[in-house]
Amino acid sequence: MSFAVDTRDAEEELRQIVADRVAAICSKDSAALAESQAEDVITFDVLPPLRTRGRAEEAAKIRAWFDGYAGDIGFEVQDLHVAADGDVGFCSFVYHVRGTLTTGGQVDRRCAQPSVSGASAGAGSSCTTTSRFPSTPPPAEL
- Give the pLDDT score at 142: 44
- Report pLDDT digits (tens) over 54-90: 888 888 888 988 999 999 999 999 999 998 887 778 8
pLDDT of residue 104: 95
Higher pLDDT, 141 or 2: 141
Contacts of 72 (CB under 8 A, 6+ apart): 26, 28, 99
- The answer, yes or no, to whether residue 129 has pLDDT greater than 60, is no
CATH of 7-133, picked from 3.40.50.620, 3.50.50.60, 1.10.600.10, 3.10.450.50, is: 3.10.450.50
Give pTM, 2 decimals.
0.76
What value does the mean pLDDT take over residues 112-121?
A: 62
pLDDT at 132 over 50: yes
How do the domains of the chain map onto residue ranges?
Answer: 7-133
Distances (CA, A) of 55 to 32, 37, 85, 107, 125: 11, 6, 25, 26, 19
User: Residue 99's pLDDT band (boundaries 50, 70, 90)?
Assistant: very high
User: Quick check: bond before 49 cis, omega within 30?
Assistant: yes
